[in-house]
């Protein structure tokens, strides 16, 4: 089996890991004169399909993504104001645990300057930026030379040991058609996910005591009022379509009133998350039986009068009456769906309501068409209240996700991982006791025994509750990844009582020179030469990890792949890890700065140095990128990039280690 994986990896690597320098962002620069001494400098970024460029807004204390940054020397001129950029909606990123702003297709950055030296002919501007797609990140930089005479083309400026030349970029090299196609594909996938979730939520709402008893009543009405079966089917279809129209109109109304962009912005707003937390808690308490939330009875009365008009209009008002009467059960579900859909923006609220309403409408239509099916329906009873109570517990658990979002954005550390998990354990533990009949709520029917279905569902919630408990001691809880706060947002990042191990005990004489504790407490070198020297001293192969502080998929590999026992054992015992951060912004000493003979760029920082090292030796500039080498610094196998499959990554590591051992 291992040989099979090795063959697959080798074939895959030949096609996907072939040497290539990736440049996902193409840059243009131009100068526009406002008057004889005032100019605007415009820098246009054209972003390849599937990639995004981070804005100038720096987030976190060095642990966020590398922002776009323009450096002006201001020799012979001065800046007027700050460099502007287009507005883009910030999104809460679960990897960085913060709001992050980025651009998907293009962006224009504009800086106004005032020239103080009439002899000034051109301006040099430095740029650093980061771009990422779903698998890789690129940390790069440019130097621009912008001419003020209005004739000489401005553009990206490169230099090497022997030449100095301005290079202009051509906007036509970007295929905007592909960008639009990729955006449409991504949007379509998100909309389908929202539709499916909404559809399933509609079925859950159907099983509540506000809606389920309405099925036989409605079907009975249609069968009595329809003189022929064909007429009954027609009326049932009109009724179902009316339900869909009402809820889709609600989705459209929310989008129209707030705007898709405004909804998306609200979804990351601290106070909106807190408000929605309060709202969900109120709805949850209502579901548990403390009180009923209903729309004004006058609304239902007025709509009910209109339903007697007959014809399609009367049937439409019957559907509206259903929506109003069932609000106490459907309202919380509809509200949660609209909020989740708002985070996607665009047509998502409308698509969400379409899925929800279809799940409600289809059963009403089918039972009206085939009244005999009513005999197979279970009778209304206490089980409907049980469904409602279960939904109440689930809404209560979901509410704390929104409170957690607000806490993460504020970085207030009031709802850290342990507290969040303790709340969920309490909620799902109480739900388990309820399902086993140990807790009674106000509207529960007296029962001497519980049904088999209720017992089985109770076992599921009990299992889930027990699964959550080890999370208090540092277990990753991958099933609910993304719901609780991240591991590092914790009272004890190494687990309660340091249970996951926060120190290295095997180095009794101290850490090797240049080493530190890296991800998952792996001994890691961030200096290439010191790492190679240590590997030679202990005779082990070397894993070069080209990474970045702000590389999303680098963190995913560390948290989801490296943390697996079989991978962690290899990384701790069988190799020497050298992690080279290509976005490290610490300046190199002046004496160590140089012009890259490979790219013609000036290497000024430690990150520049490791990026140039990667390009020069491996003709690749994307991260993450993994290279296994021997003590002579020769490749042991074909390097790989982002590899989320644990077994493939293990096979790749083992292939390199076997090659090292065979060559001893």
d(CA 186, CA 134): 11
Pair 449, 550 in one domain: no
Are residues 457 and 389 part of one domain? yes
DSSP code of residue 374: G
Q: Which run of H or E residues covers position 555? A: helix 552-556
Query: Do 43 and 80 belong together in one domain?
Result: yes
The percent of residues above 90 in pLDDT, for the chain, comes to: 14
Give the strand order in the sheet containing 25-33.
25-33, 38-47, 106-115, 77-84
- CA 218-223-225 angle, to 5 degrees, is 95
Q: Are residues 214 and 281 in the same domain?
A: yes
**pLDDT given for residue 18 in this prediction:** 40
* Structural domain ending residue among the three candidates 360, 377, 394: 377
Separation CA 486–CA 505 (nearest Å): 26
Which of 585 and 9 is assigned the larger pLDDT?
Answer: 585
Number of compact structural domains in the chain: 4
Task: Say if CB 70 and CB 126 are below 8 A apart.
Answer: yes
Tell me what percent of the chain is helix, strand and coil, each rounded to the nearest 5.
50, 20, 35
Question: Does 445 lie in the same domain as 370?
Answer: no
DSSP assignment of 446-467, as one string? P-SS--HHHHHHHHHHHHHHHH
Could you tell me the pLDDT band of residue 508, with boundaries at 50, 70 and 90? Answer: very low
Q: Say if residue 390 is in the same domain as residue 345.
A: no
Above 80 in pLDDT, residue 317? no
Distance CA 65, CA 220 (A): 61
Q: What is the pTM of this model?
A: 0.46
Quote the domain boundaries for residue 207: 189-377
Whether residues 37 and 168 fall in one domain: yes
DSSP 317-361: HHHHHHHHHTHHHHHHHHHHHHHHHHTT-TTHHHHHHHHHHHHHH
In angstroms, what is the C-alpha Rg of the chain?
31
Q: Residue 41: give its domain's CATH number.
A: 2.60.40.1250
What pLDDT digit, counting tens, does each position of 381-427 carry? 566 778 778 888 888 888 888 788 777 656 677 888 889 999 999 99
As a whole number of angstroms, the distance between CA 516 and CA 197 comes to: 45
Position 309 pLDDT exceeds 70: no
38-47 and 25-33: which strand pairing?
Answer: antiparallel
Could you tell me if residue 18 is inside a domain? no
Same domain, 97 and 156: yes
Q: 545: closest CA among 530, 560, 564, 526?
A: 526
Distances (CA, A) of 144 to 42, 122, 526: 11, 10, 31
- What average pLDDT does range 462-483 have in this prediction? 83
List the structure tokens of 163: 């030449």
Please say whether the beta carbons of 353 and 337 come within 8 A: yes
| 133 belongs to a structural domain | yes
**Are 590 and 641 members of one domain?**
yes
Same domain, 371 and 412: no
Contact 103, 53 (CB under 8 A): yes
Q: Is the pLDDT of residue 432 over 90?
A: yes
Residue 528: predicted pLDDT: 93
Same domain? For 423 and 544 the reply is no
Q: What is the pLDDT of residues 78-116, one digit of tens each?
A: 898 888 888 776 776 655 666 788 888 888 898 989 898
Last residue of a domain, one of 377, 398, 413: 377
Q: With CA atoms as reference, report the closest residue to 326 among 227, 241, 212, 418.
A: 212
Same domain for 38 and 168, yes or no, is yes
Over 70: is that where the pLDDT of 566 sits?
A: yes
The pLDDT score that the predictor gives to residue 190 is 58
CATH code of the domain covering residue 603: 3.40.30.10
């Amino acid at each position: 089996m291992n040989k099979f994986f090795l063959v697959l990896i080798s074939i895959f690597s030949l096609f996907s890991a072939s040497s290539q320098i990736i440049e996902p962002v193409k840059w243009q620069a131009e100068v526009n004169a406002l008057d004889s001494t005032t100019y605007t400098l415009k820098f246009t970024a054209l972003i390849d399909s599937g990639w995004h460029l981070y804005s100038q807004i720096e987030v976190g204390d060095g642990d966020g993504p590398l922002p776009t940054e323009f450096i002006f020397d201001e020799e012979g001129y001065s800046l007027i104001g700050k460099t502007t950029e287009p507005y883009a909606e910030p999104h809460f990123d679960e990897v960085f645990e913060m709001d992050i702003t980025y651009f998907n297709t293009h962006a224009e950055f504009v800086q106004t300057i005032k020239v103080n030296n009439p002899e000034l002919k051109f301006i040099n501007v430095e740029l650093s930026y980061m771009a990422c797609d779903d698998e890789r990140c690129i940390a790069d930089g440019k130097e621009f030379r912008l001419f003020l005479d209005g004739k000489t083309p401005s553009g990206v400026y490169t230099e090497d040991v022997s030449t100095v030349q301005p290079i202009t970029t051509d906007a036509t090299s970007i295929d905007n058609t592909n960008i639009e196609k990729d955006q449409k594909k991504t949007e379509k996938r998100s909309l389908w996910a929202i539709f499916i979730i909404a559809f399933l939520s509609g079925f859950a709402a159907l099983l509540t005591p506000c809606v389920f008893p309405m099925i036989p009543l409605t079907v009975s009405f249609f069968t009595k009022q329809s003189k022929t079966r064909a007429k009954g089917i027609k009326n049932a279809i009109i009724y179902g379509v009316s339900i869909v129209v009402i809820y889709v109109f609600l989705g459209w109304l929310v989008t129209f009133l707030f705007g898709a962009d405004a909804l998306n912005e609200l979804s990351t707003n601290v106070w909106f998350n807190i408000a929605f937390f309060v709202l969900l808690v109120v709805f949850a308490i209502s579901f548990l039986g403390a009180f009923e939330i209903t729309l004004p009875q006058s609304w239902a009365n007025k709509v009910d009068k209109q339903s007697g008009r007959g014809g399609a209009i009367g049937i439409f008002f019957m559907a509206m009456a259903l929506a109003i009467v069932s609000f106490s059960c459907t309202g919380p579900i509809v509200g949660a769906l609209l909020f989740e859909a708002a985070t996607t923006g665009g047509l998502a609220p409308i698509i969400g309501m379409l899925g929800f309403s279809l799940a409600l409408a289809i059963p009403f239509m089918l039972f009206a068409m085939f009244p005999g099916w009513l005999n197979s329906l279970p009778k209304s009873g206490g089980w409907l209240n049980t469904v409602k109570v279960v939904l109440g517990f689930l809404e209560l658990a979901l509410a704390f996700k929104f409170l957690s979002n607000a806490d993460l954005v504020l970085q207030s550390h009031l709802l850290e991982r342990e507290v969040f998990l303790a709340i969920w354990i309490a909620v799902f533990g109480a739900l388990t006791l309820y399902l086993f009949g140990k807790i009674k709520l106000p509207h529960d029917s007296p029962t001497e025994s519980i049904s088999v279905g209720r017992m089985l569902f109770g076992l599921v919630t009990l299992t889930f509750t027990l699964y959550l408990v080890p999370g208090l001691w540092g277990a990753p809880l991958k099933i609910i990844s993304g719901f609780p706060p991240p591991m590092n947002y914790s009272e004890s990042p190494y687990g309660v009582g340091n249970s996951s191990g926060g120190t290295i005990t095997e180095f009794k004489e101290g850490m090797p020179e240049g080493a530190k504790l890296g991800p998952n407490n792996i001994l890691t070198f961030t200096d290439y030469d010191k790492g190679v020297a240590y590997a030679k001293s202990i005779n082990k192969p070397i894993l070069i990890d080209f990474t970045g502080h702000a590389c999303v998929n680098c963190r995913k590999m560390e948290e989801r792949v490296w943390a697996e026992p079989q991978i962690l054992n290899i990384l701790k015992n069988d190799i020497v890890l050298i992690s080279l951060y290509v976005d490290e912004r610490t300046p190199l000493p002046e004496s160590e700065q140089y012009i890259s003979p490979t790219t013609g760029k000036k290497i000024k920082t430690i990150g520049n140095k490791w990026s140039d090292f990667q390009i020069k030796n491996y003709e690749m500039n994307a991260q993450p990128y993994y290279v296994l080498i021997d003590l002579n610094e020769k490749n042991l196998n074909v390097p790989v990039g982002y590899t989320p499959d644990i077994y493939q990554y293990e096979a790749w590591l083992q292939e390199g280690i076997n090659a090292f051992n065979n060559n001893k």
